[in-house]
Structure 1
């Protein structure tokens, strides 16, 4: 595309920094320009910067202006630069709307995009590349149980190993004595951990948590990173190099784990502790790899597709929404959650439409206009996999978004799905392929209420009370009964015991959320998706495969093999200090808890991420199997429960309903748990609920609703590829009427009479 000159540029003209209009008569001739991507940090009181051409007040940290000037004096940086804080009057609504509409043109026209990142430590990515290659060299040339000092290594390699062991700062997350006792080359582990730490610290930098910077990474060309520490500026390489490093780090971590284990028949506790730490890295880096793949996939789609890449690339659209929400991103103004993507979706709104339709910070209005416009322009009905709490007369399949008091992030893009095609008359109806004629009727059996708590960061409380607590259980042959105790006194769990208690909590959740299926497999899925992190005082407290090892040899190893495991008779109240690497645990959800009540009377109070990971971990769910599925083209699609409810739904209730099975199975089984004598198996007498979905609490299905027809819309593409984020539950009140979205399916498949048929959704 031809170079488009911005309305203003910052340049060094006659040895003076100046902002000017390059298109005006008498302006310096500009044949090429660079562009800057950076973060603003907290706003400052208004001030004048003193740069000619900037006649409006600024609110950006003055230090940022100095950094921009310093960048322009660096080698290989062009004389002219566009940067938002100096070339755009943020207080002028007309100008801002016009410039937002041109972001694609500006970033694609610029020769180089320079990213400025504030860092605690600046390093050279090539050194990280070389050090990872060094680890590979050691791994392929000596056995993990070999003595490096006597191995066939060059003097230089031996010196390098010694330096990492004896001179470099020790950063591997276990003490040196523990690692030394494992008889593994300490230099290898320290070098590995240092490299991984650099990669982690870059991608957890504040820059990578912002909405606008996401857009700029996708649109920029020849992206170069500059690390800034104490006003010292250093080039730290190309973004592509760091993207490759993120992927290479996953490879090195997995290979290092295999290298340590090879040749060992039995592992010592020290070996297991080391492998456990590397396994934590593997899990984190796997998420980072998906984030990187999403960004790279989007850049490829945009570069190859041009300014209108999104018009007919629905898989690319899926990928952009997944990539922007896999790590929740924030902005200072709520409205920028949507405006910050208008450069990616170039041409979605004109400058005038941005000014009128995308003004303000009302999230309901902005969300509706965004998804409506995206649907109209692509003729595809774009919506979200979410339980909405409001209705419209038209376009009702676009969810009503609440305006939360708490922090809003790009979680609002989690679970974006393509429902089908937009109706030809553009009257707000959508045409979709649905499985209709669901067998049975939706019957409620579990209620979930979202509450806000005042706990501190890391508070992880789990309270469970079985419905039989306080009642009596049969213990004798004839009339012998004993009261079932209620363990409602809160117990503070020590860090070293947290793994065991987490497994117990996950087991309870499995018996409640997914009864009738293998509870051991369930809790493994749940805890792997939750990825809990906690502090320990001993490395053996969290060994490799801790979800199995922490309860090995106990009642909880496989509780369903014990007749006395009766979840309805149990209770617990634990207080832990746990952070979770799950996407569901973030700044927006950290103060949310869920109160779960089953129709038998069992109750659970637990953190939001635990409960919704628990819902999506059930057997047969299309959600929860993996955080993000990566396709063959490098794009990603999210498969988790983040989009099921909204942050603004605090205080509202949702119900789990079932079309199949017996919703009274919980009550029946609870009765058996107290009427069956100890040491005898309690066999479920009826089938537990199946064909499950999540709906609003106000949804009802009564005896007068027999004419209703229920169905669900798979959200994959028309070729039945697994490119969707889940299935949407629909219904219509009478034959030949239009359908409405009423919920989200938990089970991937629900028994139905009719095959795929075309339906109209209002």
Structure 2
């Protein structure tokens, strides 16, 4: 008998349904279900089920799906939130939410119900990927299947069947045929990989509540359902294993093609580019499922209060839930949807009062304050707070916004250190930063109202001014400000040019080619082409090969004299975590103190900050620790969605903040064939702060430092005098900033 039974259970006997109370009925075991509600009915409705004396909100079709599942799998008792919780009672919801851990851990089996019109057998995919592995091991990449000594006749027949099956690879058959790569291998591989990715792109994997449910559930079985059919599609563990196995086959296939050739033609390069893109998306999926598997292990071994001491496990939960932004119907559900994982964090009464409504600032503060108090560790977010409370200021103020709620609010969660009894964080910090901070660049966030999401406008500060051509001749520098649509095949070339401009202004000391390569690979833009050659392998270099932009010499690159206005109409999305449904319509206006202005998508600008040489945000955006917990290293937490309309300043503790002005002047006065050698040091020791931050004449005694977060972005701190406590004022861009006092323990208010 289950050691802990829910308050109510949905009962099914010979197709007849009722809701029963375990205190009234002897129940040996029960199952539990995880699913997405979808759109509710327009009006609450009476189910007519005995034991349910309240109206239901869930769509009738969805509730019927749950009943079909119970009949199909002969489930006697099932816990389903739509009918086992009185959704009209806030008190009942709060009580039941506080029991989620026990419900899922004591259920005999957890059923995941997916809306899927097409059903795939995971064991068939396992076998097909194993077949691909066998072929890659027993046949050279340039060999003919008919003559491969390591293949049996049955396996040759299989390859022929795959060759004739519906084509799934992203490049037309005619091009692959000219590449002399076995088409059966490619089609089998691509069909399997597409099925795996398609499953994990199901709406189920984009919701907040389902994240906790698949982590807490035991013996998790997956079902595919549509209006006509319902079918078991295997266990969650099998599909998560397939996500990892798919990546393994992508790398092996890539090596199989590479190792069998000395020289590649254009068709082979096009095939390799598709497989290379597969490795990127499959690596992201691998990290996602590994993080979930690690969380399940942490919780199974640690029990309901596993989170009290397991700091790396807690970090993994926040990283895993925001790796792919998840949605929910109400903003309170962002936090309520984690209360099963963080069992006992809030009492039912506290859930009703502290985690309710739409006030993100209140709920976020209450959540992180309670988590910190109970773990005695200072949990906070990588964000630049807009105002102070007077106490607990190390928990940033989260701006309320009218958009849809997503788990982006958990991006950049870090542990500052020990929490003392006064609610202050005791952290190790580098102190005594040398130099005086000076601002030199502004970044303003605003809502993009253009019909296209990916626009790039740049106006160099010298546009319209006179350029020295010779001793006696000058000419006006032109301004190219008329919008130009960039269509399909030109997109790669223009993206490289835009990235080069960004590198010259945001990180002027960098190797421009290496910088833009890092930036574009982290951005991962997706766009339509008319021919595979328009997006070759290593397109970040190849698209500008043979032009001035291929390897622009820094001393001759005069970005201050340039201008452009591009609308990249065929970019549909980006692989970057900084690009999602909330950020896609946000643009940034960047103003350098020399007068140069850039307007570009949020994801492009903030990725440009994260890839600067020596960035504290790290070159790797996501990785796994030895126990497969996720470690995120990106800039998603730098600013918040509620910061639209706000301005941030980039400031520097060292170097000359007027170096851009001096360089702009030299770009005008020096002849184009003369190299420009900077006479002053470029700004370094950089940090991002709010616009209202100031270091005035009254701040001469102010002491600055920074807390190292291990790649999530170091937090800039300051105090006005030696007896004061530090406060967080910004996020460091550079990992190292010159300091005099080294590392010591500080108190953060």
- Coarse TM-score class (shorter-chain normalised): over 0.9
**Are the aligned partners of 1:624 and 1:641 in contact in 2 as well (CA < 8 Å)?**
no
- Equivalences for 1:683-702 in 2 at 5 Å? 683-702=677-696
Q: CA deviation at 1:15?
A: 5.2
Matches of 2:623 and 2:173, distance apart in 1: 38
Alpha-carbon distance between aligned partners in 2 of 1:405 and 1:688, rounded to the nearest angstrom: 40
Q: Compute the displacement of 1:16 (Å).
A: 1.7
Aligned 8 A contact 1:67 1:231 in 2:
no
**Residue number in structure 1 paired with 2:560:** 568
Q: Shift of residue 217 of structure 1? A: 0.9
1:447 aligned partner: 442
Counterpart among 169, 172, 175 of residue 172 in structure 1: 169
1:476-515 matches, cutoff 5 A: 476=470, 478-515=471-508
**Paired residues of 2:57 and 2:87 also in contact (CA < 8 A):** no
SS where residue 143 of structure 1 aligns? Answer: coil
- Correspondence 1:349-748 to 2 at 5 A: 349-423=346-420, 425=421, 427-456=422-451, 459-476=453-470, 478-560=471-553, 564-576=556-568, 577-578=570-571, 579-715=573-709, 722=710, 725-748=712-735
Counterpart of 1:142 (choices 139, 142, 156) is 139
C-alpha separation between the residues in 2 aligned to 1:315 and 1:97? 28
Are the counterparts in 1 of residues 291 and 629 from structure 2 also a CA contact under 8 Å?
A: yes
Distance 1:475 1:624 in 2: 42
2:252 aligned with 1:255, yes or no? yes
**Aligned equivalent of 1:336:** 333
Answer whether contact 2:31 2:77 (CA < 8 A) is retained: yes
Q: CA deviation at 1:445?
A: 0.6
Please name the residue that 1:719 is paired with: none
Q: Would you say the 8 A contact 2:460–2:596 is kept in 1?
A: yes
Note the C-alpha offset of 1:630. 1.1
Q: Distance in 1 between matches of 2:3 and 2:682?
A: 64
The answer to whether residue 164 in structure 2 is matched with residue 162 in structure 1 is no
Counterparts of 1:353 and 1:322 in 2: how far apart (Å)?
25
User: How far 1:309 moved relative to its partner?
Assistant: 0.3
Match of 1:85 in 2: 82
> d(CA) in 2 for partners of 1:338 and 1:296?
21
Q: CA deviation at 1:110?
A: 0.3
1:58 aligns with 2:56: yes
- Contact 1:613–1:624 under 8 Å retained in 2: no
Distance 1:13 1:564 in 2: 81
CA contact (8 A) 1:467 1:670 kept: yes
Following superposition, the deviation at residue 14 of structure 1 comes to 6.6
SS in 2 for 1:537: coil
Change in 2 beyond 3 A, CA 1:15/1:144: closer
Contact 1:9 1:22 (C-alpha < 8 Å) held by counterparts: yes
Structure-1 separation of matches of 2:13 and 2:7: 17
Provide the C-alpha distance between the structure 1 equivalents of 2:490 and 2:354, rounded to a whole number of angstroms: 54
Cα contact 2:2–2:28 (8 A) shared by 1: no
Could you list the per-position Cα deviations for residues 92-137 of structure 1 after superposition, in whole angstroms to 9, with x for gaps in the alignment?
0111000000000000000110000001311100111111111111
Runs of 4+ in structure 1 over 3 Å off: none
Deviates more, 1:616-625 or 1:193-202: 616-625
Structure 1 residue 78: Cα displacement = 3.6
Give runs of aligned pairs for residues 224-303 of structure 1, distance below 5 A.
224-303=221-300
1:74 to 72, 75, 83: 72
Query: Is the Cα contact below 8 Å between 2:12 and 2:71 reproduced in 1?
Result: no
Q: CA separation in 2, counterparts of 1:321 and 1:433?
A: 22
TM norm structure 1 = 0.96
Q: Is the 8 A contact 1:376 1:422 kept in 2?
A: yes
TM-score by length of 2: 0.98
Give a deviation string over 1:715-747, Cα, whole Å, max 9, x none. 2xxxxxx4x522110000112101111001111
Q: Is the Cα contact below 8 Å between 2:706 and 2:716 reproduced in 1? A: yes
Q: Secondary structure at the match of 1:459?
A: coil
SS class of match (1:349): coil
- 8 Å Cα contact 1:529-1:624 kept in structure 2: no
Q: Is the 8 A contact 1:407 1:587 kept in 2?
A: no
Cα offsets for 1:297-329 (capped at 9, x unmatched): 111110111111000111111100000000000
| C-alpha deviation, 1:624, in angstroms | 4.7
Counterpart Cα distance in 2 of 1:619 and 1:2: 56
Unaligned runs of 5+ in 1: 716-721
Displacement of 1:330: 0.6
Contact 2:428 2:707 in 1 (8 A): yes
What is the RMSD computed on CA atoms of the aligned residues? 1.3
Deviates more, 1:686-695 or 1:42-51: 42-51
1:128-187 deviation digits (Å, cap 9, x = unpaired): 111111111111111111111222322211111111111x21111111111111111111
Residue range with higher mean Cα deviation, 98-107 or 260-269: 260-269
Distance in 1 (CA, whole Å) between partners of 2:15 and 2:268 is: 62
Distance 1:727 1:519, change over 3 A: same
Aligned position for 1:718: none
Deviation of 1:350 after TM superposition, in Å, equals 1.0
Q: Which residue of 2 aligns with 1:48?
A: 46
Name the CA distance, whole Å, in 2 between partners of 1:669 and 1:15.
79
Deviations 1:417-449 (A, max 9, x none): 0111111x2x32111111110000111010000
Residues 676-701 of structure 1: CA distance to partner in whole angstroms, max 9, x if unpaired?
A: 11211111111111111100000011
CA distance in 2, matches of 1:378, 1:671: 56
Q: Aligned partners of 1:198, 1:15: CA distance in 2, in Å?
A: 34
